[in-house]
Amino acid sequence: MINFIKNKIDGKRLLILGFGREGESTYRFLRKHFPSMHLTIADQNEQLIKKNNDDYLSFITGRNYLHNLSEYDLIFKSPGISLSGLSILREKITSQTDMFLEYYSKQIIGITGTKGKSTTSSLIYFCIKLFTQDAVLVGNIGVPPFDMIDDITKNTRIVFELSAHQLEYISKGPHTAILLNLYQEHLDYFKTFKDYQLAKFNITRLQENSDNFIYNADDELIQNHLSENKSTRNYFPYSHKTPVNKGCWIEDNKLYFFDDALPPMIIDLSGERYLAGEHNLLNIMAAACACKINGVPYKKIKEGISTFKGLEHRIEYVGEYNEIIFYNDSIATIPEATIEAVKTLKKVNTLILGGFDRGIDYDQLLEFLISSTVKNIIFLGNAGKRMMNGIKNLDTKNINIEFVDSFEDAVKMAKKKTKPSEICLLSPAAASYDMFKNFEERGRTYKKLVRE
């Protein structure tokens, strides 16, 4: 991998665009292996702490940090930075994701989708680790790929969670690609919802004909893209609605997997499992498909499904305090995820909604809430204001609606309003970065406030 990257960057003027988690990782990697190569870091943050004792490093900061990109031969772009409206040659843009996929493609199981990708990626990794220790989990889950290069051999199985931002500028797809679903999200970054969908669809569009594509056959948007982009793949659809000839489905609480090249697999799901809810059955099917076609034994897949405890911030039980049951679903940044959380928990009395407004359509969520068990809705942030204005036009006579100015006030209000023995749920249906660095910080702040 080091020689591969050396050939890619040798003799070129390099720019690291964005200096968050991945940008810092890129700098560490390049400086470790190419100590005298001149690097430039561009970031909007004018307070960026300059690296000491690095004579081969330059900085571009402030609001004009994107102005001179054409001066560089190769740009390592961080996922969150949009190049919309800028005139720059596509071949100049790369990233950790792009290079990783180009070099390690045959070893990678790549997972994307609007919701469920962290759970599915983690479940796949968990099942693989029950079978072999030679596996890594990287990507949008929070681990920059370059940080794991030293742990990867030619036999290592790489589980790679991929966001639309990471997939936007790639040149090769993974050997096994999973597309879970497509819903409105990141409309603050992409020009249109269609652009967002196309970025997601790169995960299979750029695969080779011999690669595997696992997809949700119940998702209409995915089916539309497949009909518009006919290509040869090893297709493995999965469905919660109907049996498929090749792939995975669930019937009578049993998971079925069929493929002509592999023995059939049937897993009884009627026993206890930690991944509750209808939405997680889809995640389980995608993970089971990926594990099966990548050689994980049946017994390990079954054990993984029954013992995997899920993720922090995804319908996470916080505890019972003053007779109120608290759940943290801070990872829910779209309406569909919030709807699934309420459906899964069933006894939600109070719901905390809102945050950064990215222009997502909330009509479906609001219609769902007025017929649900939720009796108190606490709104905050600009997304909360828009949701509150929308719900006022509906029949809310049985729902108490409150708007608060701060996250602390939201939790205080929830403690006052929630009925004993019922649930208070944080499931915001909005991004966190009006008040927090990310959804993790929001979720941990919620748990801290709940326990005080």
Which 3-state string (H, E, C) describes 358-425?
A: CCCCCHHHHHHHHCCCCCEEEECHHHHHHHHHHHCCCCCCCCEEEECCCHHHHHHHHHHHCCCCCEEE
CA distance 422 to 351: 11
Average pLDDT over residues 158-177: 97
Q: How far is CA 417 from CA 354, 400, 445, in A?
A: 18, 9, 20
Measured torsion, CA atoms of residues 143, 148, 154, 160, in degrees rounded to the nearest 10: 0
**Cα 78 from chain centroid?**
16
Question: What pairing do the DSSP bridges indicate for beta strands 262-268 and 254-259?
Answer: antiparallel
Tell whether domain 316-451 is in CATH 3.40.50.1000. no
- pLDDT tens column, 385-430: 999 999 988 887 789 999 999 999 999 999 999 999 999 999 999 9
3-state secondary structure of 431: strand
- What token pair was written down for 185? 């999200």
Average pLDDT over residues 275-301: 94
Instruction: Judge contact between 440 and 341, C-beta under 8 A.
Output: no
CATH number for the domain formed by residue range(s) 2-94: 3.40.50.720
- pLDDT tens column, 5-48: 999 999 999 999 999 999 999 999 999 999 999 999 999 988 87
Average pLDDT over residues 276-299: 94
**Cα 444 from chain centroid?**
18
Average pLDDT over residues 265-287: 90
pLDDT band (50, 70, 90) for residue 278: confident
Residue 114 phi/psi, 5-degree rounding, is -70, -40
Query: If you ran DSSP here, which 8-state letter would residue 227 be given?
Result: H
Residue 187 has pLDDT above 90, yes or no: no
Residue 435 phi/psi, 5-degree rounding, is -125, -20
CA distance 108 to 86: 31
Q: What is the pLDDT of residue 22?
A: 94
Residue 53's contacts (CB-CB under 8 Å, 6 or more residues apart) are: none
- For Cα atoms 395, 401, 406, give the angle at the middle one, nearest 5 degrees: 150
CA distance 292 to 262: 8
Rounded percentage of the chain residues whose pLDDT exceeds 70: 99
pLDDT, greater one: 272 or 33: 33
Residue 65 has pLDDT above 80, yes or no: yes
Residue 431, beta-bridge partner list: 356
Query: If you ran DSSP here, which 8-state letter would residue 38 be given?
Result: -
Domain spanning 97-307: which superfamily?
A: Mur-like, catalytic domain (3.40.1190.10)
- What token pair was written down for 2? 């080091």
Instruction: Judge contact between 426 and 446, C-beta under 8 A.
Output: yes
Equal fold, 97-307 vs 316-451: no
Element (H, E) at 28: helix 21-33
- What token pair was written down for 209? 């004909």
Q: Looking at this protein, which amino acid is placed at residue 3?
A: N
pLDDT band (50, 70, 90) for residue 162: very high
Strands in 74-77's sheet, in edge-to-edge order, are 57-61, 39-43, 14-17, 74-77, 93-94
Domain ranges (residues) in the chain: 2-94, 97-307, 316-451
Q: What is the pLDDT of residue 86?
A: 86
